Amino acid sequence: TSPFAWLRTRFYYLLIRLYFDQEFSIEEFTRGAKQAFSVVSKLLSQRKLDLLEELVSAEVLQVLKEKISLLPDSHRDALAADIDAIMYTTEGDVRIYYDDDGRKFVSILMCFWYLNGANLPDEVPSAAKVFQIVFGDENTKEKKHLLTANYEFQREFTEGAKPDWTITRIEHPRLLE
């Protein structure tokens, strides 16, 4: 992350605390985002899309239903991220905006890097290379892939709105395209 982007996101966190939620903590948000990412990615992998209705926006869910049905099993398996296999998490873009009706929203893009042992082919879609990590010695080799995912979380802060974060974008590059 560039110093400018880091400073900009910290400024947005200050605005969120000042104008929307005095209790907002990026550390607490990140913990919750990691848990949500792990749960949602596992449900995607298992094709249990009906269980995502409270967590994912209707628009995203519709797109996922179409994409998941076309995925090969190896790619579907690679979507699942165990919370202990998440190696690195960082915030991407943070946005604060108002819609035409005056409703207030905050949107935070989270980027996750996770290890997954799915049996992916060496060449994945779009000819992009996925990092592979080998654990153990020659007799007990275990190959894992370092994969990335981007999930955008959105919350409405209009008075009277439910205080829930909803996932409004799900990207698993090279897997869910």
Which neighbouring-strand residues pair with 104? Answer: 98
- pTM of the model as a whole: 0.88
- Is pLDDT larger for residue 160 or for residue 118? 160
**Amino acid identity, position 57:** S
pLDDT digit string (tens) for 70-103? 999 889 999 999 999 999 999 989 999 999 999 9
Averaged pLDDT of the chain: 88
pLDDT of residue 138: 58
Name residue 131's amino acid: F
CA distance 96 to 20: 10
Cβ neighbour number for residue 156 with a 10 Å cutoff: 17
Instruction: Give per-residue pLDDT as tens, 11-23.
Output: 999 999 999 999 9
Looking at residue 41, its amino acid is S
> Which residue in 122, 92, 113, 89 sits closest to 12, CA to CA?
92
Other beta carbons less than 10 A from residue 124's beta carbon: 19
Taking alpha carbons only, the member of 11, 162, 32 closest to residue 110 is: 32
Q: Tokens for 101?
A: 């009706």
Residue 174 has pLDDT above 80, yes or no: yes
Q: In the prediction, which pLDDT does 122 show?
A: 61
DSSP β-bridge partners for residue 132: 145
- Express each pLDDT in 103-136 by its tens digit: 999 999 999 999 988 887 765 444 344 555 556 6
3-state secondary structure of 120: coil
